[in-house]
A and B are shown apart, each in its own frame.
Chain A
Amino acid sequence: MPPRSTAGPALVDPKSLMAIRNLEFRARIVVEGFWNGLHRSPYHGFSVEFTEFRQYSPGDDLRYLDWRVFARSDRFYIKKFEDETNLRCHLLVDHSRSMGYGSLAYTKSEYANTLAATLAYFLFKQGDAVGLVTFDEELRDILPARNRAGHLRQLMLALERPVAGRSTDFKLPLTRVLQMVRKRGVVVLISDLLAPLMDLERALGELCAFGHEPLVFHLLDPAEASFKFDQAAIFEDVEDGRKLYVDPITVRKAYIGKLREHCQAAQRICEQRGIGYVLLTTDRPLEFALFDFMRKRMERGKRRRTEASSSRGETMRVIE
């Protein structure tokens, strides 16, 4: 749980944030607000490694010798590349049609896009390479992790594409990321996880096995979380078009029970593998998500070893 007191006045209401059309601008507002609050934050100092020079020792690749330093100081130094040392982060954003649902002024997908954009912008500002994979039942956009001028813009464009997919499949995108990304890095999955969790489990396991550091943002619409409908209606599945007559008053309890089970199962899967799991409803300010991201990254080492029972309680609170 992020310390609410520190972020209090600096937080941006997601509703007004979503009213801004430009995704990059949205991301910038969140990140800059975050930067401003950072000096008071206990998480100061978190960042990727610095670029450095190292003294040459026999066996090093001569290509990386810095001849200019040699000319100045008459000593051999090896130049360590920025790219080599930086964090590589891949954002996996679910673009299936269920993400297009939203009971607020914006959809889950818009929230997810803003979240992804915020993370991307934040990391990009730090000089980290950010990649993007959008998917539904198949892969849509794949942008390899880079830190070049213009890359962020491309990333935003890819994020702004409308949701189209019929269903969600975790196996394919995660496997693809494994094939694509050989270097270890952070893999952030942003999804509503409305799909069988078996595939997710296996895919996350593979990611961990390859040394990647996965992080899961589980998004839920407030209406999905509370199911506070009062009129009987035909509920239509936005993904496969299935229709079901439902009287919410009678079904609500059962629904909430099942949803809670599902979330707990997802959380359990993550925790077993030491993967950061954050459950978010789309009415939460994005700064929290950013704090969560950083906190999970920092706690990763600890998490892997200890069971975090406190976060389970947090999940329960979100669903109710």
Chain B
Amino acid sequence: MNFLAPLFLVGALAIAAPIIFHLIRRTPMLQRPFSSLMFLTPSPPRLSRRSRLDKILLLLLRCLIIGLVALAFARPFLRDKLPVPTANAPAKISLVLIDSSASMRRQNLWAEATARAREIVRKASPVDRVEVALFDRGVRKLVSFDEWSALQLQERAVASERRIADAAPTWFAGELGSALIFAAEELDALGQVHPSTLRQIVVISDLEEGSHVQNLQGFDWPKGVEVIFETVRAKSHNNAGLHIAVEGESVSPVADVRPLVRVSNASESRREQFRLAWVDSRSGAVLGNAIDIHVVAGKSRVARAPQRPQTNAESHLVLTGDDEPFDNALYIAAPEPERVQVAFVGAGAENDPEDLLYYLKRAFQETRRRTVSIAPSAAVTPGARFVIASGKLAESQSDSLRKHLEQGGSALFVMKDVASAQAVEQLAKANGAVSEATVREYAMLEQIDFAHPIFAPFSEPRFSDFTKIHFWKHRRVETNGLLQARVIARFDDGSPALLETDIGKGKLLILTTGWHPADSQLALSSKFVPLLYSMLEYAGCFKEHVSLLVAGNELPLRDAAISLQRPDGSAVQPASGRWILDAPGLFKASEASGSYNLAVNLDPAESKTAPLDVSELQKLGVPIHAPAARSAAAVEKERKWTHAAELESRQKLWRWLIIAALAFVLVEIWFAARVSRPVAVEA
């Protein structure tokens, strides 16, 4: 007989209790307080042999009851031939996620991470399925599940290890949350095929504070998937990051020469004194004066960088004083104003306040970022990005404009009289009935399509009021005459005010009124200039907003003619119509009209290298597997115990023991009652 809980047998020692009580009972047990012993004499105690025998039987009964209860609690079972399950570890599906974000460039983190990944791959059993992937801004698979299954048994580890060894950390920010969601979804999909298999995600990462995990909030984790964190830790946490402090055009003019920078010190850092200087990007030589910055650990400080040296060579800011150089460079592109040429075709007098051109010339003021020049010309010049045409057009003008449009250019035609409708008909090669509208007092714009990119900037309620612009005259155009014409805005009588039609690759916008005082108040309205800029923007006349780019950003490929060069000179290959900026530094964009620099820096989140508490992830609902360091012996012991528990639960001997104990209790009660029945006292 075996016992599941043999410790309870110790309870059988309680048998001593009734024995002791019986021994005590042999001396008179009753104590009676009495007022006085004055008249009493002691009498020797009497013992009867018969009662002693009764009591021994009682004693035996009581001992037996205690023994049975102790035995029942020890849960005995008889070992028989129950098949013992095989001790083989079950197959598992592991998805190894290796952090390849910029922070993994610190010290020997990458080497350690890859070593761990290789160990996991090596230790995988033949029944296991393993996928190895890198994650930073997205997830890149090194070895997918299908590839793993396709590989020969002996090749799996070797091939995977080779691929892991070939991988390198990137400059991107780590998106841990997205990577976990991706992995969980993939394992969930596999779980539907192999429902009973253990599925786990192994994350090998430095788990820094800057890992983006917020999107895990509210994510519904699939059942049966658990996450194991294999954290690699840097030896020192002395890291400070250098980033630009202010973005966009709000930078004051001095920003170009002394930009505002933010120096942030990691929370576990022991260094507080740093030095900031301009460095020649090619030679690495320090240019000009350096400044000292004191930043307390865990805090950040905004300071103005030293004077930018007046050299032709490319330079960037470098922070020194911490242990980790990966986030110490800050690239700032010297801004170059953009020149946009807009051609004006048609009759116009620059100095006549009654004319369209008079207002157009004055609408585009020169700014630091761009200069828009209006060139009245007889025909469309090749360099013009946008054409504004008005009035009657000569044959040649019309042809050049049409050519411009067919090549993908954009134009705005201002229909300032009924006669100019001819030009539209020529351009669109369509017949449309155009007539002068009869306007009572004035007309207003309505039914404006704010979803259209031209009016999108006005879509907010405080900008969307166009009723203050009064139109005295406008032309009525029958839209069905113009093929594929889309109406963007209408007048209040329902006739179109602004139309858009495709001609070749290009777009032609038609305004059925003019902004000169004879037609309307439009030129005097505050909406006029933004509307013109909006049209230029819609036509693709302006370059991207390039003031703040971080590694990992994507740029839309505006023009196939533009090429982008990495800081090291290699060309960036566009992927599905976009450029991915994959390293910090000054990228050079070249196009026909010239070249300009794009400054790409590291994601500020990557500088937050203080370790992330795993419990934070637990709070976000990540099912973290506690790595239990159990020896094989312990596992075997547990298996045996489970087996024994199963046997015991089948046999349930304890029930019979308890029943027997209860039966003996009843016998004991009856017997005790019989023994202690009061004997009649003779008077």
* Centre residue among A98, A235, A237, A250 by max chain B CB count within 10 A: A235
Closest 8 CB pairs of A and B: A230-B681, A101-B35, A233-B30, A258-B39, A98-B35, A194-B36, A247-B43, A233-B32
Q: Which residue of B lies closest to A196 (CB)?
A: B38
In the complex, whether A231 has a CB less than 8 A from a CB of chain B is: yes
In the complex, whether B28 has a CB less than 8 A from a CB of chain A is: yes
Query: Which chain B positions have C-beta within 8 A of A288?
Result: none
Chain A min CB distance to B656 (Å) = 41
With A232-B28, A245-B28 in contact, is A251–B34 under 8 Å at CB? no
With A246-B43, A249-B682 in contact, is A236–B38 under 8 Å at CB? no
Query: Which chain A positions have C-beta within 8 A of B46?
Result: 232, 247
Chain B min CB distance to A102 (Å) = 9
- Please pick, from A243, A251, A259, the residue contacting B43 in the complex, using a CB distance under 8 A: A251
Q: Are A238 and B30 in contact (CB under 8 A)?
A: no
With A232-B45, A247-B43, A247-B45 in contact, is A221–B32 under 8 Å at CB? no
CA distance A232 to B40 in the complex (A): 13
B624-649 interface bits toward A, Cβ cutoff 8 Å, 1 = contact, 0 = none: 00000000000000000000000000
Q: Are A237 and B34 in contact (CB under 8 A)?
A: yes
Chain A min CB distance to B323 (Å) = 84
In the complex, whether B41 has a CB less than 8 A from a CB of chain A is: yes
In the complex, whether A262 has a CB less than 8 A from a CB of chain B is: yes
B13-44 interface bits toward A, Cβ cutoff 8 Å, 1 = contact, 0 = none: 00000000000000010111111111111111
A224-236 interface bits toward B, Cβ cutoff 8 Å, 1 = contact, 0 = none: 1000011111111
CA distance A234 to B42 in the complex (A): 9
- Please pick, from A239, A243, A247, the residue contacting B36 in the complex, using a CB distance under 8 A: A239
Q: Are A246 and B42 in contact (CB under 8 A)?
A: yes
In the complex, whether A209 has a CB less than 8 A from a CB of chain B is: no
Q: How large is the interface on B (under 10, 10 to 19, 20 to 34, 35 or more residues)?
A: 20 to 34
A-B contact pairs, 11 of them (CB 8 A): A98-B35, A194-B35, A230-B681, A233-B30, A234-B30, A234-B31, A237-B37, A238-B35, A243-B31, A245-B28, A245-B44
Chain B min CB distance to A88 (Å) = 32
Q: 4 new A-B pairs (CB below 8 Å) besides A230-B681, A262-B38?
A: A99-B35, A234-B32, A236-B32, A238-B35
Q: Which residue of A lies closest to B34 (CB)?
A: A235
Query: Which chain B positions have C-beta within 8 A of A99?
Result: 35
CA distance A103 to B250 in the complex (A): 104
Q: Are B31 and A246 in contact (CB under 8 A)?
A: no
Query: Which chain B positions have C-beta within 8 A of A229?
Result: 32
Q: Which of A236-269 contact B (CB under 8 A)?
A: 236-239, 242-247, 249-251, 254-255, 258-259, 262
In the complex, whether A296 has a CB less than 8 A from a CB of chain B is: no
Q: Are A249 and B40 in contact (CB under 8 A)?
A: no
CA distance A159 to B137 in the complex (A): 95
Q: Are B40 and A246 in contact (CB under 8 A)?
A: yes
Chain B min CB distance to A313 (Å) = 21
Q: Are A98 and B45 in contact (CB under 8 A)?
A: no
Chain B min CB distance to A193 (Å) = 10
Q: Are A244 and B38 in contact (CB under 8 A)?
A: no
Q: Are A238 and B33 in contact (CB under 8 A)?
A: yes
- Please pick, from A98, A101, A236, A247, the residue contacting B31 in the complex, using a CB distance under 8 A: A236
CA distance A108 to B34 in the complex (A): 12
B584-614 interface bits toward A, Cβ cutoff 8 Å, 1 = contact, 0 = none: 0000000000000000000000000000000
- Please pick, from A237, A249, A255, the residue contacting B681 in the complex, using a CB distance under 8 A: A249
Chain B min CB distance to A191 (Å) = 12
Query: Which chain A positions have C-beta within 8 A of B36?
Result: 98, 192, 194, 237-239
Query: Which chain B positions have C-beta within 8 A of A237?
Result: 34-37
CA distance A251 to B28 in the complex (A): 16
Query: Which chain B positions have C-beta within 8 A of A98?
Result: 35-36
CA distance A255 to B36 in the complex (A): 11
With A247-B45, A247-B46, A249-B682 in contact, is A233–B31 under 8 Å at CB? yes
Q: Are A255 and B32 in contact (CB under 8 A)?
A: no
CA distance A249 to B34 in the complex (A): 16
Q: Which of B229-258 contact A (CB under 8 A)?
A: none
Q: Are A221 and B35 in contact (CB under 8 A)?
A: yes
CA distance A238 to B33 in the complex (A): 6
Q: Which residue of B lies closest to A247 (CB)?
A: B43
CA distance A258 to B46 in the complex (A): 24
With A233-B28, A234-B28 in contact, is A192–B42 under 8 Å at CB? no
* Centre residue among B31, B38, B46, B678 by max chain A CB count within 10 A: B38
Q: Are B30 and A232 in contact (CB under 8 A)?
A: yes
Query: Which chain B positions have C-beta within 8 A of A232?
Result: 28, 30, 43, 45-46
CA distance A255 to B39 in the complex (A): 5
CA distance A295 to B337 in the complex (A): 138
- Please pick, from A194, A238, A246, A249, the residue contacting B38 in the complex, using a CB distance under 8 A: A194
- Please pick, from A224, A246, A254, A258, the residue contacting B35 in the complex, using a CB distance under 8 A: A224
